Structure 1
Amino acid sequence: MDKFNLLVIVTVISLFISLFLSFFLVTVQTKHKLSNSLFAFFLIITAIDSSTPLIELVTTGPSNLGILRSTLAFLQIPAFYLYVVSVCYSDFRFKPKYILHLLPFLIANVIMLPRFYLVDAAAKVNFIINRKSMIELQFNHTLIHIQIVIYFIAVFMILRKVKKLYLENYAGANINSYNWLFQFTIVLTILYSCTIVKNIFKFSDYPYISELIKIGIQVFLLFIVCWYLFKALNNPSLFRNIDSKLKLVADIVLEENKNETQTISEKEHQEDLEKLKKYMIEEKPFLNPSLTIQEVSAAVGIPVRNLSVLINHKLEQHFYDFVNSYRIENAMETLKDSTKNKVTILEILYDVGFNSKSSFNTAFKKHTGNTPTSYRNNLQNNTL
């Protein structure tokens, strides 16, 4: 089997799975319809862009439609960027300013007008034959490389901010959503980095290297799509968003310093802290696996802004870690109770407010230095 046939086979499989997943995303009943539609659009555009080996089997020469299809690549990264934003923020809506994301795509097509779109077939063929020296194609390749770098930097900045906001305001399982989205972005970054390398070789004296990289990209893309499909089918409610109006504690403190306002005295901070600790011990709200700082604020009568500063700034703990510390203490009490030796670790983690074994183990080791199993074994050995 030669490399061309392999490329066609991989392309067909990848195209089928991408379109199947797109259909699944736009038809599945979910409240995350907008996010699903954006990712479906990203998949469809990516599938069209990667279908070149199939297109070459049926086309006889360069065409306006063929060039337009190739410039659709300029819509891939903006679509993924908007998808990430929609996943991260619960109040995401389309805004007129998002039309600006079409700008690179429009520029790439406008510069192709004089010497490709508006000329006859013979001129189009000549343009493609001399593509290495055509300034329009060189410009478009440079533009898409710059676009890829800028958008991925923007995505990582959003994910970094969202993680901080989540840790400062939530204590549920949503952090798993962030972790998966971060991993997925890393994988896509690697994929598009390979694409940049492929394009560089495409205009070099070693175009065959570009063809080899293209095969690797298609196989990698197939793996990515299958991975996402597996996640989507097994975790239909994986994503839960946060409110975009939330502010980082560092920004809140900075605002207060700029305004030179000391909204709460140290004595009031201490009183609020005692009230908060009493509430956590007596009412045990941490048993709620999806506890938020807004719920705690309403229960103790401390404004969310002040409570956030108290926990994240004064105690130097994220709300996520603050709540988990009470969960771990509660779990430790159960593990110490000799009458509950038959209660499994899994049962304990659900009882104290965790809903994932990995997050429980991570939090437990961070708090005690041991895994839950090791901690229980050490207790049992010491009593013998």
Structure 2
Amino acid sequence: MGASLLPFQVVDYFKPGIFPLMFLTGPLLYLYVGSLTIEDFQLKPIHLLHLIPFMLVAIHRSTIQVVPISSSPDLVENPQYLFNKVYYTLLIISAFSYWFLGLQLIIKHRKKMPLYFSNYTGKNSLNWLIFVLSLFLIVFLASFFSFFVNNILGLAPVSYTTLPLNLTVFTFIMVYFGINQSAIYSREKVHSKLRHQQLSPEESLPKSGGALLSDEQIAALSALVKNYLTDKKPYRNPDYNLQMMADDLAISRHKLSHVINSGQKKNFYKFINQFRVEEAKAMLADPSFNHYSVLGIATECGFNAKTSFNRIFKEETGLTPTEFKQTLERSTN
């Protein structure tokens, strides 16, 4: 945006100009999405391959007679603009390829969410990022298409492109939401106050010898998990997740996930919310909690929103919390 406001062409003083930098938009967006959705994400030397388009365009523009991207696209009077057409076509391919790859990462993450989280929030579901990517698609598709038709295909003259403005707005939106986005997956081991001070089940049980646990181990660990949830009630924490449980029980998360999925025939999300619903039913039936609102009970049991509480409660009982309460009152009268 700043280059568009300058009273001179950037390429007059710096041959590559700022155009090569636009090839970093897609890779940076993709790596940022990866840092949120891929557990234990780390930048690796292989990620430097994403810089190849940027480097090639920058080097090529340094070795030829450069014309501004905003100059006339007429190849008769401005033959060097041919390279700009090639650059811009490659930029469109790059931008939408990385948009698609970023969306794939989010989809994979959302499919894994029930295996790791006990509540869905705007931050761990990345709803804002889906919104931003959708905005990117709509706004940039219109801008790219307009510029491509006018400057690359030469079907009509254009005096101004909204691409610099779109890139600037997109950057500020990403920065605003990104500052408020915390890490989704724990980067280091969580030390919970509920951690058991007893022998790890993996040490006390016989080894199965294979990659999967034996039926005896699954049964023993399932009983341990149920007792732990019943006694300690860690699910009252709305941010409770599989890693916290694994740390509390000193079991590898992979084995714990296998125990819950195989032993309970449920994913982590449904398993934990089943205990929350049972806790809510007990509170609704207890007269000492009559002064609590539905939202108050939901919060006490670990739900993070009234809507999700009503939905999950009805899935488990066939009734909403209010209907359940009314049923109890009618049965006692």
Cα distance in 2, alignment partners of residues 187 and 125 from structure 1: 25
C-alpha distance in 2, partners of 1:240/1:61?
38
- Structure-1 separation of matches of 2:170 and 2:70: 35
Q: Which of 297, 301, 324 is the aligned partner of 1:348? A: 297
TM-score, normalised by the number of residues in structure 1: 0.65
- Cα distance, 1:276–1:108 mapped onto 2, change above 3 Å: same
Which of residues 45, 58, 65 is equivalent to 1:96?
45
Q: 1:341 to 1:187 in 2, by over 3 A?
A: farther
Q: Does 1:240 align with 2:199?
A: no
Aligned 1:201-350 pairs, distance under 5 A: 201-202=149-150, 203-207=152-156, 214=162, 218=165, 222=169, 225=172, 229=176, 231=177, 236=180, 238-242=181-185, 261=210, 263-300=212-249, 302-350=251-299
Report the Cα offset of residue 185 of structure 1. Answer: 2.7
The percent identity for this pair of structures is 23
Q: In the alignment, does 2:102 pair up with 1:159?
A: no
Output one character per residue of 1:275-322: Cα deviation in whole Å (capped at 9) or x when no partner. Answer: 322322232221122323233234445443221112234544321221
8 A contact 2:69–2:84 mirrored in 1: no
- The Cα offsets for residues 155-177 of structure 1, whole Å up to 9 and x where unpaired, read as 12322333344432333566633
Q: For residues 55 and 320 of structure 2, what CA distance do their matches in structure 1 show?
A: 55
Query: What is residue 22 of structure 1 aligned with on the other side?
Result: none
Matched residues in 2 for 1:87 and 1:301: separation? Answer: 25
Q: 1:149 to 1:222 in 2, by over 3 A?
A: closer
Residue matched to 2:206: none
Question: Which consecutive residues of structure 2, in runs of 5 or more, have no partner in the other structure?
Answer: 190-208
The whole-number CA distance in structure 2 between the counterparts of 1:195 and 1:145 is: 10
Aligned: 1:79 with 2:22: no
Q: Counterpart amino acid of 2:185?
A: I
Distance verdict in 2 for CA 1:221–1:179, change over 3 Å: same
RMSD of aligned residue pairs (Cα, Å): 4.1
Partner of 1:186: 134
Deviates more, 1:101-110 or 1:195-204: 195-204
Which blocks of at least 5 consecutive residues in structure 1 are unaligned?
Answer: 1-46, 247-259
Going by fraction, where is helix more abundant, 1 or 2?
A: 1
- Separation in 1 of the partners of 2:283 and 2:70? 76
Contact 1:167/1:318 (<8 A) preserved: yes
- Look up the SS of the partner of 2:64 in the other structure: helix
**TM-score computed with the length of structure 2 as normaliser:** 0.73
Distance in 1, matches of 2:71 and 2:133, equals 39
